[in-house]
Structure 1
């Protein structure tokens, strides 16, 4: 696939596609994604990590922001706790393939005069209502938002400006914050970033993925745990909202050249698939049993995550 196809695969939207095409033609291009240090790195994070790997392959300089101050503002723990998690998260990202990229600790970037002045300038342009709405899908306990959570999206806009990047990667839940950045950064002489949005995947139970619910697979899980979790996962006959198929589409096929569904001859024998489209079509025709699909998912995912466990151990 060409560079444009690689960047666009497994995304929800690109804002805008024309801007992306123009950016790809540039000899130098920079992209970033920010992560709150708030616990285990799991398959939810891996969606954007895979996209950063794609972007690095097609020539982007990648920056990963370890957003310790954002985590603190969003009630994710003390500064001491998030600092400790930031270093652990960095090791996980490296183990997942994000090497030879720039890692920036949020507090190193954000606690200076130029940055803080830009935050204050942006805050004069953004209404409290828009700041609140931009945090609806990102913030914790938004029934009773704090002032710190209203600062959060404005700082994220300033991050884009101060990091000097051309594009921002995030889940679709980041869309409202990115739209604020595109609208307002130009007023202060900064470019409007290309925004690359990835989907929010289901947890293993088919519901929203959540650390508190334990319905996720961590990149640090053992091979045995990964396989057990996949075997217990929700896997309906339908394709839509199927968490096991989502893992194949967004995690396994981007990293493996193909997969094999292993089964006895009396059940049809082994089936090999070179891409996700073929697998989805076969499953949709009931040619693959859910139990066989889940077994192959666990085996493939354990293979993909094995280097991470070795790297961070």
Structure 2
């Protein structure tokens, strides 16, 4: 794959790359650079999580070696359950990720190395170079109790930075809510004698109601939702005719469907124009903006493709029922 194609694939659907120049140089000098994303095992996997999985698949296809950190010790520190509970959840998360297309990634459990002497020593060194205010700011977006955090939650971002060094990766992937932690890593690791990682950030998706995604509202699609649940959720989704800004159904096409399918077929009765096929998200978005594509047809197609994506996950999770 040519450099320009690798670069386009690596940066596709990212809200920012820090920095593009560093990523470009990495792709020029390394045939198989290393990339990682860490996942805190703490509940159901939903399409918001799958966004970073899609990015890892892009990077795998661009020639990267992919490492997935199942951050069980991080989840424990962030009050997501006992060590046994989060380890069991980590195993289930791995099954989901493999079914979504990351079968040949390298999986690491944080507890397998995060208690070793050299790792702990690096965390302590980084703690000496990091103010409490900086650690707290870094954790604000990912902590469930940011107003009254535990000391363990201040250790969390320091460990995440040291993970990057210990795993020997060139690139760190995460949602934009990970930005402050990644910036701490870029600055802090250099002081410890390590390289600053390239950071690729994906957006935070809207909930299906057009509001902030929230577990209390249930305004998201989980990877274990049944076909009927997916159909019902997308049928009710916020999708005003002709409106492309902040449209969660269009986001599903942009971030989940088009990265996995070379073209999308919208099936319609002949009296409504018949079937229509789109070979890019931009073409589909334009048709919707011009109102030549009705929200009901868009939602129906979205449900069909999402169910196709999730079916292997449902089959894999039957092992855990």
TM-score (norm 1): 0.97
Deviation per residue, 1:96-124 (Å, 9 max, x gap): 01111111111112011101000000001
Partner of 1:310: 315
Query: In 1, distance between residues paired with 2:7 and 2:317?
Result: 33
Query: In 1, distance between residues paired with 2:31 and 2:282?
Result: 33
Query: In 1, distance between residues paired with 2:225 and 2:43?
Result: 13
Q: How do 1:170-209 residues align onto structure 2 when only pairs under 5 Å count?
A: 170-209=174-213
Given the alignment of the two structures, is residue 295 of structure 1 paired with residue 293 of structure 2, yes or no? Answer: no
Give the unaligned 5+ runs of structure 1: none
Q: How do 1:250-261 residues align onto structure 2 when only pairs under 5 Å count?
A: 250-261=255-266
Shift of 1:27: 2.6
- Runs of 4+ aligned residues of structure 1 deviating over 4 Å after TM superposition are none
Give the unaligned 5+ runs of structure 2: none
Partner of 1:243: 248
Shift of 1:310: 2.0
Secondary structure at the aligned position of 2:291 is classed as: coil
Shift of 1:196: 0.4
Shift of 1:160: 0.4
Partner of 1:270: 275
Shift of 1:240: 1.2
TM-score (norm 2): 0.95
Query: In 2, distance between residues paired with 1:160 and 1:167?
Result: 8
Partner of 1:154: 158
Query: In 2, distance between residues paired with 1:216 and 1:41?
Result: 10
CA RMSD, 1 decimal: 1.1
Which of 119, 128, 133 lines up with 2:123 in the alignment? 119
Maintained 8 Å contact 1:95/1:312: no
Q: How do 1:1-313 residues align onto structure 2 when only pairs under 5 Å count?
A: 2-25=5-28, 26-237=30-241, 238-313=243-318
Maintained 8 Å contact 1:157/1:180: yes
Deviation per residue, 1:146-179 (Å, 9 max, x gap): 1111111001001001111111000000001101
Deviates more, 1:223-232 or 1:195-204: 223-232
Query: In 2, distance between residues paired with 1:102 and 1:308?
Result: 19
Query: In 2, distance between residues paired with 1:99 and 1:263?
Result: 35
Secondary structure at the aligned position of 1:110 is classed as: coil
